[in-house]
Structure 1
Amino acid sequence: MSTDIYRRVENDPKFKELVARRSRLAITLSAIVLVSYYAFMAVVAFAPDVFGKPLWEGSALTIGGPIGALLIIVSWLLTGLYVSRANGEFDRMTQEIVERNA
């Protein structure tokens, strides 16, 4: 591709909007995952009795197990959300940019 096309795409307001929206979504979802994982680890490290309580009396399963599993599931769901937006909204925007600048 020529440098001219690259310059046109970089200067396209739709491209700038695409980059901003995609970055904002990625940063937001990453922050949610990182904060929740680090909060979970902080509780395990500094207040282990919180997650160490059994789910019910006599149970070997503690509260921490289901909460940890929930964190993993939420991470998968957030990944699915990103993929859905990337394959839908962001791909449509990319196609519009390509058609306008081809």
Structure 2
Amino acid sequence: MDERQVEAILQNPKFKEMVAKKRNLSWTLTAIMLFVYVGFMLLVGYNKEFLLTPVSPGGVTTWGIPLGLGIIVLSFLLCGVYSYIANNKLDQLNEEAMREVEAIAHEKGLH
């Protein structure tokens, strides 16, 4: 792939759309995870009593355990969401952009 093809890809509207959507998705999922994690840390720092409270009266499992596990599960779910969207939406835009660039290069006899 030469510099002209790379530049054509970078200037392709579908490629730019894919990059923008990927960036927005990444920042949105990062913000969600950061919000949840920082919220949990603030809870640990400022409301330990709640985390030490049993889930059920007389039980041994405190609220800290399911909340901590929930954060771990959430991180896996967000990875799954990212993978699903990337594989089903963003890859499609990327492939369309590549086909357009290849078609233009073929027309110009550059390929």
With the shorter chain as reference, the TM-score category is over 0.9
Instruction: Give the aligned length.
Output: 102
Structure 1 runs (4+) greater than 6 angstroms displaced: none
Aligned counterparts of 1:26 and 1:56: Cα–Cα separation in 2: 37
SS in 1 for 2:55: coil
Q: 1:1-102 to 2 correspondence within 5 Å?
A: 1-102=1-102
**Contiguous gaps of at least 5 residues in structure 2:** 103-111
Aligned counterparts of 1:90 and 1:4: Cα–Cα separation in 2: 23
The residue type paired with residue 90 of structure 1 is: L
Aligned counterparts of 1:57 and 1:4: Cα–Cα separation in 2: 69
Aligned counterparts of 1:5 and 1:21: Cα–Cα separation in 2: 22
SS in 2 for 1:61: coil
The residue type paired with residue 91 of structure 1 is: D
The residue type paired with residue 68 of structure 2 is: G
**Contiguous gaps of at least 5 residues in structure 1:** none
The residue type paired with residue 20 of structure 1 is: A
Quote how far apart the aligned CAs of 1:70 are: 1.4
Residues 33-71 of structure 1, C-alpha deviations (whole Å, 9 max, x = no match)? 111011101110121112110112222210111111112
Which structure is larger by alpha-carbon Rg, 1 or 2? 2
Cα RMSD between the aligned structures?
Answer: 1.0
Aligned counterparts of 1:16 and 1:91: Cα–Cα separation in 2: 13
Residues 17-36 of structure 1, C-alpha deviations (whole Å, 9 max, x = no match)? 11000100010001101110
Aligned counterparts of 1:60 and 1:92: Cα–Cα separation in 2: 49
